[in-house]
């Protein structure tokens, strides 16, 4: 009897709690759906009045309000871009059809094209050249720094002033540059940054930083190496890479420059990196 009574009490308590949360969820859903921001998106208003404040009723709904406002701006921007594309397509003039060629001209052009193909050297062993479409994609500077409607606006991220989104060079026609998650170049503030820990040597000699790679997996190796990079860049020392070695689960000898662009112009501008061979040659040279 006691166990049955306990089960009934537990069941009633559970049902009451579920009903309470269901009513809260229903009221919140109804409140959001009837918000003025949703109604504004359905109208033709391009910009809301400046003195109009969207009342959500509760302070905890501020994030919902910001999301709705960003979503509205995103929808307007998409509509404007579609209008521009439609206008450009309508202004393009149709190309007139080419006149038919006579049989003799076709034969002559075929002979000329055949002779050109014979004179053209074979490119089987030559370097693969990307197509025009790929070059257009990868050389485009229109990569946006926007982070969607949940990201901060540009006036709230001064570190991105002067930055451009990075690109990925590939011989494919696919826009692989959309996979770039870095900026190249970085913002002007980062480009002009000088570490306060950088101290010049009193003797005038170059200071180096040597290290040994972590013996764990690649993720452990990566994390420890990133700490080494920060220390070398902050103190202004030249980073010396260890000799190439076998890494865990990697069959070939590798070094960190296989995974990080250490010898790129942008990296060398902030952090000078040398190999162990270059370091030893400099140290054993006369006066080293």
Residue range 174-213, pLDDT digits in tens? 777 778 777 888 888 888 888 888 877 677 788 899 988 8
232 pLDDT above the threshold of 70: yes
Token digits for 265? 């112009």
* 231 band by pLDDT with thresholds 50, 70 and 90: very high
Give backbone dihedrals phi and psi of 66, rounded to 5 degrees, phi first: -65, -40
**Cα(5)–Cα(12) distance, integer angstroms:** 11
Give the C-alpha distances (Å, rounded to integers) separating 36 from 28, 42, 246. Answer: 14, 10, 62
Looking at every residue in the chain, the average pLDDT score rounds to 71
Please enumerate in sequence order all residues whose Cβ is within 8 A of that of 225, keeping only pairs 6 or more positions apart, or say none: 213, 214, 256, 260
CB-based contact 272:238 (threshold 8 Å):
yes
Query: Which of 50-54, 172-176, 248-252, 272-276 is most confident?
Result: 272-276
pLDDT, position 187: 84
Nearest to 257 by CA among 199, 213, 288, 220: 213
Q: What is the pLDDT of residue 238?
A: 92
- Read off the pLDDT band of 114 (50, 70, 90): very low
Cβ contacts of 206 within 8 Å, gap of 6 or more = 238, 282
Maximum Cα interatomic distance, the chain, rounded to a whole number of Å:
107
Q: Any idea how long the chain is?
A: 288
- Using CA atoms, how far apart are residues 68 and 70, in angstroms rounded to an integer? 5
Which pTM was predicted? 0.43
Q: Are 175 and 142 in contact (CB under 8 A)?
A: no
The token pair that represents 200 in the structure block: 């010049």
DSSP assignment letter at 176: G
First to last CA, the chain: 92
Q: Mean pLDDT throughout 133-140?
A: 52
Average pLDDT over residues 5-34: 75
Percentage of the chain modeled with pLDDT above 70: 59
pLDDT at 254 (0 to 100):
72
Which stretches does DSSP call E strand in the chain? 208-210, 238-240, 245-246, 253-254, 273-274
Distance CA 127, CA 130 (A): 10
Task: HSE, CB side, 13 Å, CA atoms: give it for residue 203.
Answer: 5
Question: What pLDDT was estimated at residue 239?
Answer: 92
With a cut of 50, say whether residue 117 has pLDDT above it. Answer: no
């Amino acid at each position: 009897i006691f166990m049955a009574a306990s089960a009934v009490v537990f069941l009633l308590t559970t049902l009451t709690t579920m009903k309470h949360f269901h009513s809260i969820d229903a009221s919140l859903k109804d409140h959001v759906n009837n918000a003025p921001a949703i109604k504004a998106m359905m109208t033709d208003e391009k910009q809301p009045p400046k003195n109009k404040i969207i009342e959500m009723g509760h302070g905890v709904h501020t994030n919902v309000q910001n999301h709705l406002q960003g979503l509205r701006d995103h929808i307007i921007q998409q509509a404007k871009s579609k209008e521009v594309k439609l206008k450009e397509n309508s202004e393009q003039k149709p190309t007139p059809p080419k006149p038919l060629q006579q049989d003799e001209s076709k034969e002559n052009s075929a002979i000329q094209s055949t002779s050109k193909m014979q004179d053209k050297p074979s490119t089987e062993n030559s370097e693969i050249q990307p197509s025009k479409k790929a070059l257009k994609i990868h050389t485009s500077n229109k990569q946006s720094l926007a982070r969607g409607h949940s990201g901060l606006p540009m006036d709230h991220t001064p570190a991105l002033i002067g930055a451009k989104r990075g690109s990925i060079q590939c011989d494919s026609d696919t826009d692989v540059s959309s996979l770039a998650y870095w900026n190249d170049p970085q913002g002007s503030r980062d480009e002009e940054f000088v570490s306060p820990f950088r101290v010049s040597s009193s003797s005038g000699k170059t200071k180096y930083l040597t290290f040994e790679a972590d013996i764990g997996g690649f993720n452990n190796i990566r994390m420890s190496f990133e700490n080494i990079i920060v220390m070398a860049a902050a103190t202004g020392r030249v980073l010396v890479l260890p000799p190439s070695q076998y890494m865990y689960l990697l069959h070939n000898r590798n070094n960190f420059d296989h995974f990080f662009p250490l010898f790129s112009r942008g990296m060398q501008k902030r952090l000078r990196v040398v190999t162990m061979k270059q370091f030893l040659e400099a140290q054993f040279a006369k006066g080293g």
